[in-house]
Amino acid sequence: MKKLLVIFFVLFLTAGGFVFSGGQKEAAAEQITLTGLVRNYTVKQDPPWYSAVKTFKIKHPNVEIKLEGLPYNDQRLKVLIAVGAGKGPDIVQVDCIWLGEFASNNIIINISDMLNADPNLKNDYIDVFRKSAQWQGKDYGLWLYTDVRMLSWHKDLFKKAGLDPNAAPKTWAELRATAKKVNWPDQGIYGYAFPAFSTDHTADRWYPFLYMGGGSILSKDYTKAEFNSPAGTAALQLLVNLMDVDKVSPKDLLGIQEKDVSNGFKADKYSMMIKVGEFWKDYRKKGLTMKQYKEKIGVAPLPIPEGGKPATGSGGWIAGITRDSKYPKLAFEFLKTVVATRNMADFVIANGNIPTRKSMLKLENEYLASIPYFNVAKEVLPTTHFRPPIPEYMQISAQIVDAIQKALTEEMTPKASLDKAAVKVNEILAKRKW
């Protein structure tokens, strides 16, 4: 009789949808769908998203995860429109320069409590990256991957000029001197290239030289322009010297986009250039082995001014949770699966990106087997800086780019053009609403 009662009791609990586990009662799992709006190229392979989905569903078989990948501008606009309509995804991939806009407008939510509850994850982020995912002291996302700006050069063109093909210029003075020696404009080859077109790439590639002299784009509280400092003037004068004095950077850089500058380098039109990451993926597609690539292309930290300090810049992507998510804790758990060391490392290695976690940097030997100059990227990573993550950044960037172009076309001096831009930037900042 007792045995029958026990069987009846178990059947009752099962039929009612309850089980006991470790003394805890749990409701039968409901079917849940999490959605994500991410960059298009990240969904063309298993890591980081689909591999994380497979792992996540082992623990949460009741959760379906739907991901949509879109190009850069389309993704941003769709997020803003969807969240504005109250129909945003649970998870969104955020360019680091969008962070202030998305956070201040409550497009993405504050995840500080959830991140603080996992100190191992929080403390595993390289400090500069963890802080750059914050808005007004609160955490708004988890870094996925990054990049750094470095110097690339053609070793065969260095040899042609009688230079050591493995010795990159280390100072601004050496950069100018070297650029003159590897400059053959009559043959369509110029010594040094940098973006100068009317896009943020132009400002972004100028910022490292600003930082080297101790300068900054804005004040620490993002309320005042500071790029027109002596450090900024010197950094812009360097570009003017390269283009207008030394004639090693052609004027047509003002009219071509960054991708075309990179294509020009690959076509041997420029002996040296400032580059986000390196060219390995491009040359690998041409059939070069890693050894052949390293024999052809050099990569090194950017040259610094006399008395200056090493600096570079970073962009990259952060994963956030939108205000429309009905399951923010579950979404955060999924994001932790995405950024898990092994999972994200597989993506970074496959795509030639740079990790943002200390545990990932310990996999250096794996990176070096797939990313030829990862050791250089790792060397400069501690000196990196970020663009201001404020809603007004793109307006500010437009003024800085205009100042750079006015100086390069010799319409204004570097100091005058930066001062004029600073006035306009301060006017923009005076109207901020955050």
Rounded Cα distance between 337 and 57, Å, is: 11
What's the CATH number where 365 sits? 3.40.190.10
In this prediction, residue 29 carries a pLDDT of: 73
Looking at the structure, tell me whether residues 289 and 424 fall in a common domain. Answer: yes
| Residue 24, pLDDT score | 33
Indicate whether 219 and 165 sit together in one domain: yes
Is 229 inside any structural domain?
yes
Q: Does residue 60 sit in the same domain as residue 125?
A: yes
> Is 198 within a domain?
yes
Residue 401 lies in a domain: yes
Residue the block writes with tokens 């991957």: 145
Residues 335 and 415 occupy one common structural domain? no
Contacts of 307 (CB under 8 A, 6+ apart): none
pLDDT, block means (10 residues), the chain with 434 residues: 41 39 45 98 97 98 98 96 97 97 97 98 96 96 98 98 98 98 98 98 98 98 98 98 98 97 98 97 95 98 97 98 98 98 95 94 93 96 96 97 98 98 98 94
Identify the residue whose tokens are 């620490």.
220
Instruction: Based on the fold, state whether residues 254 and 376 are members of the same structural domain.
Output: no
**pTM: predicted TM-score of the whole model, two decimal places:** 0.91
How far is residue 70 from each of residues 98, 153, 325, measured CA to CA in Å?
A: 16, 33, 20
Alpha carbon distances (Å) from 119 to 11, 89, 122, 426: 42, 27, 5, 38
End-to-end CA distance of the chain: 71
Predicted confidence (pLDDT) per residue in 362-372, tens digit: 999 999 999 99
Name residues whose C-beta falls within 8 Å of residue 152's C-beta, 6 or more positions apart in sequence: 265, 272, 273, 274, 275, 278, 279, 297, 298, 299
How many domains does the structure of the chain reveal? 2
What digits encode the pLDDT tens for the residues 168-202? 999 999 999 999 999 999 999 999 999 999 999 99
What sign does the dihedral 364-369-374-375 (CA atoms) show?
positive
**What pLDDT is stored for residue 22 in this prediction?**
35
Are 360 and 242 in a shared domain? no
Nearest Cα neighbor of 97 from 302, 363, 317 is: 317
Q: Is residue 327 part of a domain?
A: yes
Query: In terms of domains, do 301 and 336 share one?
Result: no
Quick one: 160 and 137 in the same domain? no
Sign (positive or negative) of CA dihedral 86, 92, 98, 102:
positive
- Between CA 155 and CA 287, with CA 369 as vertex, the angle to 5 degrees is 55
Q: Are residues 255 and 370 in the same domain?
A: no
CA distance 154 to 177: 16
Tell me, what's the pLDDT at 79? 97
Among candidates 427, 415, 409, which has minimal Cα distance to 232? 415
Q: Count CA within 13 A, CB hemisphere, residue 280.
A: 21
Residue 42: give the domain boundaries.
29-147+315-385
Query: Residues 211, 233: one domain?
Result: yes
Query: Do 367 and 407 fall into the same domain?
Result: no
C-alpha distances (whole Å) from 171 to each of 6, 175, 307, 424 are: 82, 6, 10, 32
Residues 272 and 354 in one domain: no
Q: Where are the alpha helices (DSSP H) in 60-95?
A: 72-84
Q: Is residue 258 part of a domain?
A: yes
Tell me, yes or no, whether 357 lies in a domain.
Answer: yes
